[in-house]
Amino acid sequence: MASSLGHAVLVGFCVRFLALSCAAFALAARSDDCVPVGTWIVPGTPAKRIGASDLLRTAAGRRVVLLGEHHDSAEHHRWQLHTIAGLHALHPEMVIALEMFPRRVQGALDQWVAGGSSEADFLVASDWRSVWSFDPQLYLPIFHFARANRVPMAAINVDQSLTRAVGKSGFDAIAEEKREGITPPAPATDAYIETLLEVYAQHQRLESAPGKPDRNDPGFRRFVETQLVWDRALAQGIVAALGRSPHALVAGVIGRGHLAHGHGVAHQLRALGVTDTMTLLPWDRDDDCTQLTAGLADAVFGVAAPAGAPAQRQRLGVALESAADGVVIREVEKGSVAEAAGIRGGDVVSEIAGLPARQPADVVDAVQRQAPGTWLPLKVRRQGETIELVAKFPPLAK
């Protein structure tokens, strides 16, 4: 039977892997053949182009517009901001609902929008480094738009401790007072289960467990249940935002895997009685055209990083999670600096750059301080053994 740490790693893998929209399964076809950059396309057979003004007018008339993302893509966040701005011009009464924040930090979001805190104070008060280990610079333009226009920001997520507990013991085993108000989710569709089965199988391959898992595998069933609870939490957060502002348009900023094909958040919203929704997704230049199928989203928008874009800060290529005895590596990206260093999912980082690693922010800050071409020593615990590793960051391209 897998350990509770194994369940935490698997939950993290689910989030990260789905956020990357199962990129490991993509084929070679290039998306600029089917979704030109700067163009809105309605998926289907055949796919059809729709003008931006028509698309935004339709979206602005809905109660909820769900905007997907890969969490670490600056271009996706630019697209989200531009889309939000366009919707706001047509429907100024708006709420921006954010997966990035657990509900317990709502006060920090309210204070930020009201102009009562600096960037640094806001990131501390919202516990950003602990709950969302991605670079805040990716999201701050959206937050500044909300502040400048006094658009309420809604924290719609739950604490990681809840989803970890579901992954370990199941939703029914969680005491009602510890569920953060989350009600039992609507069952997954068969199509969603098949998608999650692929994700779970890929995780097993990364963990050197060959073969395709069975739908009835207990670990897989908890994996599905965890994802459903996560989807349900985000959907209930959106419903709560609608309740506070019944005439507002709620724009949800959420990972792509929770939105694609309507399996996740939209499915749970329908079960909660909210059907007047629209799902919009960014489409990267290298996405696979065979995946542009009917039902993927109401529309997709072709994006590409601009030529000559500045290099991002150093990236280790891991998803992180707090733990009592260090920082858990939830998942390791294929081809990343972390993978080359021998870091594995489930490792617990205890020391980095000679300093203790007590929370994800310690790891993130150490990585982002690294210059190109430098080496970063770290210690991890793996199956009771302390292992010393070195992450080697590539030099700047000439």
Q: Which two tokens stand for residue 5?
A: 């740490």
Q: Which two tokens stand for residue 90?
A: 């047509």
Residues 27 and 281 sit within 8 Å (Cβ to Cβ): no
Burial string for 161-183 (b: 16+ CB within 10 Å, else e) reads ebbbbbbbeebeebeeeebbebe
Give the other-Cβ count within 10 Å of 233's Cβ.
27
Backbone angles phi, psi at 126, to 5 degrees: -85, 0
The pLDDT score that the predictor gives to residue 198 is 86
Residue with more model confidence, 161 or 19: 161
Give the other-Cβ count within 10 Å of 269's Cβ.
27
Closest residue by Cα to residue 207 from 387, 362, 331, 88: 331
Distance (Å, whole) CA 375 – CA 379:
13
pLDDT band per the 50, 70, 90 thresholds, residue 320? confident
The pLDDT score that the predictor gives to residue 326 is 87
Query: Any residues with CB less than 8 A from the CB of 227 and at least 6 apart, and which?
Result: 14, 18, 188, 196, 264
Report the chain's mean pLDDT, rounded to a whole number.
87
Residues 112 and 153 sit within 8 Å (Cβ to Cβ): yes
The pLDDT score that the predictor gives to residue 159 is 92
Residue with more model confidence, 109 or 313: 109
Q: What is the average pLDDT across 5-14?
A: 42
Strands (E) across the chain are located at 40-42, 48-50, 64-67, 94-102, 153-157, 249-253, 277-284, 299-303, 318-323, 326-332, 348-352, 355-356, 375-382, 385-392
Residues 26 and 291 sit within 8 Å (Cβ to Cβ): yes
pLDDT of 209 above 60: no
Q: Name all domains of the chain by residue range, CATH numbers in brackets.
A: 4-23+30-161+219-303 (3.40.50.11550), 318-392 (2.30.42.10)
* DSSP-based three-state secondary structure for 164: helix
Q: Which two tokens stand for residue 398?
A: 């000439």
The pLDDT score that the predictor gives to residue 211 is 63
| pTM for this predicted structure | 0.77
pLDDT band per the 50, 70, 90 thresholds, residue 359? confident
pLDDT of 204 above 80: no
Closest residue by Cα to residue 285 from 52, 66, 76, 138: 76
The pLDDT score that the predictor gives to residue 319 is 84
The pLDDT score that the predictor gives to residue 210 is 59
Residue with more model confidence, 238 or 333: 238
pLDDT of 253 above 50: yes
Q: Give yes or no for a cis peptide into 46 (omega within 30° of 0).
A: yes
The pLDDT score that the predictor gives to residue 255 is 96
Parallel/antiparallel/unpaired status of strands 299-303 and 277-284: parallel
* DSSP-based three-state secondary structure for 282: strand
Closest residue by Cα to residue 58 from 80, 86, 79: 86
Distance (Å, whole) CA 384 – CA 397:
39
The pLDDT score that the predictor gives to residue 312 is 58
pLDDT of 145 above 60: yes
86-115 pLDDT, tens digit each: 999 999 999 999 999 999 999 999 999 999
Q: What is the average pLDDT across 238-247?
A: 97
Q: What is the average pLDDT across 344-366?
A: 90
The full length of the chain comes to 398
For residue 114, give Cα distances in angstroms to 100, 147, 153, 256, 280.
19, 7, 10, 29, 28
pLDDT band per the 50, 70, 90 thresholds, residue 32? low
- The rounded percent of the chain whose pLDDT value lies above 90 is 66
Residues 372 and 396 sit within 8 Å (Cβ to Cβ): yes
Q: Which two tokens stand for residue 250?
A: 């709620």
pLDDT of 18 above 80: no
Backbone angles phi, psi at 179, to 5 degrees: -90, 0
Q: Which residue has the tokens 């709420």?
A: 95
Q: Which two tokens stand for residue 29?
A: 């076809």
36-94 pLDDT, tens digit each: 999 999 999 889 999 999 999 999 999 999 999 999 899 999 999 999 999 999 999 99
Query: Any residues with CB less than 8 A from the CB of 311 and at least 6 apart, and which?
Result: 396
* DSSP-based three-state secondary structure for 67: strand
Distance (Å, whole) CA 375 – CA 55:
48
Distance (Å, whole) CA 189 – CA 223:
15
Q: What is the average pLDDT across 221-228?
A: 94
